Amino acid sequence: MPGYWWECDGTDRHRVRSFSDATGGLPIVRFFFHLCEDDWDQSLLSRPCAQCSGLLRINYSFPRRDDPLQFAVQHVVGLLVKLDRGEAAYLPMLWESIAVGESESKFDLKYVGQDAAGNYQPYGLARPAIVDRGALKQLADLYRAKTGVNLL
């Protein structure tokens, strides 16, 4: 199983193993930059399942080994930070996910990047994003604006 895939919330038998097959060819990092460009449109985080009436959602395992849990992404918001190195960018994100079979959400800070040459960098999908207090407040405010839920 790849690191991130699309899976139906109705049955785990309906999966799209290649992330870009569910996004019109967008690889995962480009997808998150696209989500940012679309003002964090939360409807882009689910797709109708072609095999049933369920919804496909981004899924991932955490931790990757030692008895991992599978998580389904519910919401993602982020802050685009342009770096002083040409057109390089850092995109820290707040993810709300639910472990499959559980009902309570968990929150995760991840990031992706783009270098000055325009290449997308996935490294932060496997590492925590580091944000200061101001950015954390901005993420919480954006989350509230996009979901209607106050985190704090």
Q: What is the pLDDT of residues 1-29, one digit of tens each?
A: 468 999 999 888 899 988 999 999 999 99
Q: Which residues, including other chains, have CB under 8 Å from residue 8's CB and lie 6 or more apart?
A: 14, 15, 49, 51, 52, 54, 55, 56
The pLDDT, as a whole number, for residue 64 is 67
Q: What is the pLDDT of residues 75-120, one digit of tens each?
A: 999 999 988 767 789 999 999 999 988 999 999 999 999 998 889 9
For residue 139, the number of C-alpha atoms closer than 13 Å in the C-beta half-sphere is: 26
* Domain residue ranges of the chain, discontinuous segments joined by +: 4-147
More confident residue, 138 or 67: 138
Q: What is the pTM of this model?
A: 0.91
Q: Give the three-class secondary structure for 15.
A: strand
